[in-house]
Amino acid sequence: MLEQLAELLFQVPPLLALGAVFGLTCAEAALFFGFVIPGEIAVVLGGVLASRGTVPLIATLAAAIAGAVIGDTIGFFLGRRFGSAFLEKRFPRRWPPVSRWIHRRGAVAVFLGRSTAFLRAIVPTAAGAARMAPGRFLLWNVFGGVSWATVFTLVGYFAGEGYEAAMRTAGKESAILLAVIAVLALLVWGKHVFVRRLTPALPPEA
C-alpha cells in the first residue's frame, strides 16, 4: 500500500499531490478512511515531496493541517447529528471504552486521540456523539491538528528517501511527542489559572 501510494504521489503534478495530502488527511476522520489508509502516510510522503523540491514545504504543511482540522470537524458534527447509535452498531466492542474515555478526559482526549490511526478516525465523531461543546472541540482540534501535521510533515521532509524506515517508527515517536506537548500545554494552563486565582482583584478606579 505504501509503495503504490508513494509511486502515485511522486508522479502526479505538484498541485494534485497537495490535493491528495489534503484529501486523504481530511477523509481519515470525515469518512473513516483512517481504517484503510492512515493519514500520516500521505503527510509523510508530502514531506518527502517537499524535501525533493517538488512542492513547497509551507504548502505541504498547510494542506496537512487544513485536512486534519477540517476532517475532524466534519467527523465531530456528524457525531453530533447521528449520535452514538452509528458507532455502537459499527464498533460494538470498541465504542463503549472510547465513549467512556471521552467522558473522562474530554478535550485532552481530542488532542491525544491523534496518536493512533484508529483514534484519529473515531475520536472526533465520538466527541460529537458525547455532546462536547463545539468551541472547546475546535480549540483542541486545531492545537492537535497543527502539532500532528507538523510532526509528520517534518518526519518525511528530513527522512527524504529513507521515508520507509521513518514510517515504521513515526507512529511511536509522534505519540510520545504529542503527549509531551499536551503535558506542557496543561502545565502552562495550570500555572495561568493558579496565578490568576492568587492575584487579588484590582480596586476600581476612582
For residue 199, tell me if it sits in a domain: no
How high is the pLDDT of residue 167? 54
Segment 4-39, tens digit of pLDDT? 666 777 788 989 999 989 998 998 877 776 666 777
Q: How confident is the model at residue 65 (pLDDT cuts 50, 70, 90)?
A: very high
Burial class from Cβ neighbours inside 10 Å (0-12, 13-18, 19+) for residue 180 reads exposed
Contact 151, 178 (CB under 8 A): yes
Segment 103-142, tens digit of pLDDT? 777 777 787 777 777 777 778 888 888 888 888 899 889 9
For residue 137, tell me if it sits in a domain: yes
For residue 129, tell me if it sits in a domain: yes
Distances (CA, A) of 165 to 23, 98, 114, 143, 169: 24, 31, 21, 27, 7
Segment 150-188, tens digit of pLDDT? 988 988 888 776 655 555 555 544 544 555 555 555 555
How high is the pLDDT of residue 202? 41
For residue 196, tell me if it sits in a domain: no
Segment 67-99, tens digit of pLDDT? 999 999 998 998 888 777 777 777 778 777 777
Q: How many domains does the chain have?
A: 1
Q: How confident is the model at residue 61 (pLDDT cuts 50, 70, 90)?
A: very high
- Closest residue by Cα to residue 46 from 166, 169, 174, 141: 166
For residue 183, tell me if it sits in a domain: yes
What are the cell numbers at 100? Answer: 467512556
Contact 111, 178 (CB under 8 A): yes
For residue 127, tell me if it sits in a domain: yes
For residue 44, tell me if it sits in a domain: yes
Segment 137-147, tens digit of pLDDT? 998 899 889 98
Domain extent at residue 114: 2-189
Higher-confidence residue: 199 or 52? 52
For residue 200, tell me if it sits in a domain: no
| Contact partners, residue 98, CB within 8 Å, separation at least 6 | 87, 91, 119, 122, 123, 126
